[in-house]
Amino acid sequence: MKFISWNVNGLRAVQKKGFEDIFASLDADFFCLQETKLQEGQIDLSFPGYKSYWSYAEKKGYSGTAIYTKHEPLSVAHGPGDAFPDNEGRVVTLEYEKFFLVCVYTPNSQDGLKRLSYRMEWEDNFRKYLKGLSEKKHVIMCGDLNVAHEEIDLKNPATNHMNPGFTDEERGKMTELLSEGFVDSFRFLHPDEIGYSWWSYRAAARERNVGWRIDYFIVSEGAKKLIDEAYILPEIMGSDHCPVALELKL
């Protein structure tokens, strides 16, 4: 099975940049989106053979997640569990016979780290949610996690230390997740490979490949043996992020 995850930075915007052709060419079983920036009914975008499931933010033009899938789920859930209300449309979870698929858009700590404390609370609750799912069956989690975990995951680690997405606190939460039964699929297969999934719009960062790897497929430990390939698709344009992919033997 093939999984794609992409922060589109506005689905209506990327639709004008060839999204439908990109979607068709990638031919994934599951196509997960973050930062759709939509309210319900604001777009009519369907694909033959796919159903779609959405989470919307209460704030217009903000956040939002979605999954297009060829496979009918057993159940659909929104948000990171009942204990942590999500009014920003950040999580969609589909349940299948052998696994849960979780699409997430992790909150950004923002300039001046003004939302870092909220981010830390989010991380703890989301990790608890994933661990609860993993006690039932495999978990496949993907999305924009808004953190470069290790220095290899961004071009300029020294000058970005303690900037949003590369604080000790955010990196520590990723380490905590990975130490509690989860695996970064790309880094598992490619321990020394440099690859980025996000570039600033400033200073021709993408042209110069001055980027960050902040988009991930994370799987529960038991699903590690199912990983066939994990890769990044930097040639695909339309957003400040590019898609990332995971292929599993399911």
Whether 192 is catalytic: no
Please report where in the chains the tokens 């589909």 appear, as a residue: 94
SS (H, E, C) the chain: CEEEEEECCCHHHHHCCCHHHHHHHHCCCEEEEECCCCCCCCCCCCCCCCEEEEECECCCCCCCEEEEECCCCCEEEECCCCCCCCCECCEEEEECCCEEEEEEECCCCCHHHCCHHHHHHHHHHHHHHHHHHHCCCEEEEEEECCCCCCHHHECCHHHHCCCCCCCHHHHHHHHHHHHCCEEEHHHHHCCCCCCCCEECCCCCCCCCCCEECCEEEEEEHHHHHHEEEEEECCCCCCCCECCEEEEECC
Residue from 96, 105, 196, 216 carrying the catalytic annotation: 105
Q: How far apart are CA 71 and CA 140, in angstroms?
A: 15
Whether 144 is catalytic: yes
Residue from 68, 86, 129, 144 carrying the catalytic annotation: 144
The catalytic residue positions are: 105, 144
